[in-house]
Amino acid sequence: MTVPVTTPRLVVINSTATTKDEVIRELAERLVSEGRVTDIDAYLADVAKREEVMATGIQGGIGIPHARSACVTAPSVAVATSENGVPFGAPDGPAHLIFLIAAPMGADDSHLQILAAIARRVMRDEFRDALRTATDPAVIADTMTKEVQQ
C-alpha cells in the first residue's frame, strides 16, 4: 500500500506563525517527527534555496513551498491553515493555506505531480474553503489524500 502524502499529524490548524520561515519550520518539524525528513536543517536549506528562485505564493491565499531533498524519505505534504495569513509573495496578499511539499531526490517526478494536483485543486473555491474551515486535521489529511495522491 502507498504511504498517504498527508496524515493528520502533518496538519497544523490555525498556525500562529507570522513569517514564511516560521511556518515552513513548523511544518518541517512535523515531517521530521513522522520520519519523512531525516535532517531538518538540510531540508530547510533546500526549501530556502527554492524560495530564492521564485516566490511560492499563488493567487487565492495559497503558499506552496517545496523542495527535493536527499533527506526526504517519502513524498509528503504538510499542511497549515492560518487565520491571519503568512506572506508568501503572492500579488493578492498573504497565504491562509500553506502546503509544504517534501520530495525525495531522484528521477521520480512525484513532487511535480503533487504540486500540479494541488495547484489545480486550489483553483476550486470549494476545495480551498473545505481546507480553510476544517477544524480537524484528519479532515484535511483525508481531503488531501483523496484529491492529490495519484
Provide the annotated active-site residues: 66
Please give the Cα distance from 64 to 13 (Å, whole number).
16
Task: Provide CB contacts within 8 A for 13, sequence distance 6+.
Answer: 80, 81, 134, 135, 136, 137, 140
Which residue, among 134, 46, 42, has the nearest Cα to 97 in the 3D structure? 134
Please give the Cα distance from 6 to 22 (Å, whole number).
20
